[in-house]
């Protein structure tokens, strides 16, 4: 039965073939003509698509189709589109080894020593003449950089305004190399060299050489500022004013300096925020920024309405934006930190 059925089918096909060769030939010819005509117009297009796809990095099949859609935009360019120039919008600033010691984010420690540039000494101002009335100064001769005292004023004014104590006193600002040497020697003579090494930076290794550090004191307690009780506000909010608490107990293994609840260092916003957010000490932060080189992903951070973009550059050739607001700071180790206001 099956065979008869098959035979019948076969026969039918045979019979049809016998009647249709001309028709099939005609159809084939028509189809061929249509294809030829069509491909004449298309060939140019598909060649462009390929050229485009080849130049847009390693785009996959999906992207090739997209390029096909964009072929009209590219059709006027006889040369294939180029990859985006990473230097577009940037220019290179050639810095010096001395520049690496300049800026708000410099790391200063016994390992990465520092000397205040002589040429910049005229920038130092007298704290007493520039401070607000929210705090006092132990000396009439304390020198400091204007940027530090300006933000110290803001911080301690706000501290007082929210009900803070009135007895905060600045007992140290900028120090010369010789002064630090004397401080270290006196401490070593009194408490032993090991104690001095733990609590007093060696000459050249003190942040006080930078003009960005202050030591606070509490007159009411007759002791260094401890950041507890009503004073805790300052410790908790200092990063909002660009300051960090530089030496904590937790980070002593990294900083190699014992905890100093009174020593505040100005690094600027947004760096102070990022440091606090990540529970970094300055050493860790400087290392962390190496993850954001110019030719890699940049670090972005927003404070209030202001967005910042930050990247690190090793060496002296520093790409900076051609326009807009930005700062370049040496890290006092091996490179520079660029901070762009977006």
Which residues does the annotation mark as catalytic? 260
Query: With respect to Zn ion, which residue has the nearer C-beta, 100 or 245?
Result: 245
> Shortest Cβ distance from residue 174 to Zn ion (Å)?
11
Name the segment binding Zn ion (CB under 5 A); options: 85-93, 212-220, 290-298, 309-317: 212-220
Please tell me whether residue 215 binds Zn ion under the rule CB under 5 A: yes
Give the separation between CA 219 and CA 225, rounded to whole angstroms: 9
Query: With respect to Zn ion, which residue has the nearer C-beta, 172 or 329?
Result: 172
At 180, list the tokens.
């630090």
Give the separation between CA 68 and CA 71, rounded to whole angstroms: 5
At 242, list the tokens.
């660009």
Q: Among all chains, which residue has been given the structure tokens 């206001």?
A: 341
Name the segment binding Zn ion (CB under 5 A); options: 15-23, 133-141, 261-269, 316-324: 261-269
Among 239, 251, 263, 265, binds Zn ion (CB under 5 A): 263
Give the separation between CA 326 and CA 179, rounded to whole angstroms: 34
Cα angle vertex 243, ends 237, 246, to 5°? Answer: 105
Are the C-beta atoms of 152 and 90 separated by less than 8 Å?
A: no
Query: With respect to Zn ion, which residue has the nearer C-beta, 257 or 310?
Result: 257
Question: What is the contact mask toward Zn ion in residues 154 to 193, using x (rule: CB under 5 A)?
Answer: ----------------------------------------
> Shortest Cβ distance from residue 277 to Zn ion (Å)?
24
Are the C-beta atoms of 242 and 213 separated by less than 8 Å?
A: no
Are the C-beta atoms of 281 and 246 separated by less than 8 Å?
A: yes
Size of the residue set binding Zn ion (CB under 5 A): 2
Query: With respect to Zn ion, which residue has the nearer C-beta, 55 or 138?
Result: 138
Give the separation between CA 279 and CA 235, rounded to whole angstroms: 14
Query: With respect to Zn ion, which residue has the nearer C-beta, 111 or 295?
Result: 111
> Shortest Cβ distance from residue 184 to Zn ion (Å)?
13
For the chain, how many residues are written? 342
Name the segment binding Zn ion (CB under 5 A); options: 72-80, 131-139, 153-161, 260-268: 260-268
45: three-class secondary structure by DSSP: helix
61-69 helix and 21-55 helix, angle to the nearest 10 degrees: 90
Query: With respect to Zn ion, which residue has the nearer C-beta, 150 or 215?
Result: 215
Name the segment binding Zn ion (CB under 5 A); options: 17-25, 134-142, 258-266, 326-334: 258-266
Residue in the shown chain whose Cβ atom is closest to Zn ion: 263
> Shortest Cβ distance from residue 309 to Zn ion (Å)?
31
> Shortest Cβ distance from residue 310 to Zn ion (Å)?
26
Residues 6+ apart with CB under 8 A from 96: 316
Closest C-alpha to 116, from 203, 34, 13, 2: 203
Binding region for Zn ion (CB under 5 A): 215, 263
């Amino acid at each position: 039965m099956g065979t008869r059925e098959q035979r019948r089918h076969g026969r039918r096909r045979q019979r049809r073939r016998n009647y249709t060769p001309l028709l099939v030939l005609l159809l084939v010819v028509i189809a061929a003509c249509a294809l030829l005509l069509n491909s004449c117009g298309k060939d140019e297009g598909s060649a462009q698509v390929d050229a485009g796809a080849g130049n847009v990095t390693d785009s996959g099949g999906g992207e090739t189709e997209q390029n096909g859609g964009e072929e009209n935009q590219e059709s006027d360019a006889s040369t294939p589109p180029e990859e985006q120039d990473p230097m577009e919008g940037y220019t290179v600033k050639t810095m010096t080894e001395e520049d690496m010691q300049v800026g708000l984010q410099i790391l200063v420690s016994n390992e990465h020593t520092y000397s205040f540039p002589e040429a910049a000494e005229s920038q130092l101002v007298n704290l007493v003449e520039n401070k607000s009335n929210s705090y006092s100064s132990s000396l009439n001769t304390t020198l400091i950089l204007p940027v530090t005292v300006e933000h110290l004023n803001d911080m301690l004014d706000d501290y007082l305004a929210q009900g803070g104590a009135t007895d905060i006193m600045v007992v140290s600002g900028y120090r010369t190399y010789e002064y630090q040497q004397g401080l270290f020697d006196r401490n070593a003579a009194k408490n032993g060299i090991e104690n001095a090494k733990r609590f007093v930076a060696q000459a050249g290794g003190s942040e006080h050489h930078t003009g960005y550090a202050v030591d606070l004191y509490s007159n009411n307690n007759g002791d260094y500022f401890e950041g507890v009780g009503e004073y805790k506000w300052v410790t908790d909010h200092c990063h909002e004013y660009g300051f960090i608490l530089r030496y904590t107990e937790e980070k002593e293994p990294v900083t190699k300096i014992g905890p100093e609840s009174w020593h505040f260092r100005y690094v600027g916003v947004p760096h102070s925020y990022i440091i606090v957010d990540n529970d970094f000490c300055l050493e860790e932060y400087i290392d962390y920024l190496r993850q954001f080189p110019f030719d890699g992903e940049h670090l972005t951070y927003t404070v209030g309405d202001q967005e910042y973009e930050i990247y690190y550059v090793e060496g002296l050739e520093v790409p900076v934006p051609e326009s807009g607001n930005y700062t370049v700071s040496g890290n006092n180790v091996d490179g520079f930190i660029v901070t762009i206001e977006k």
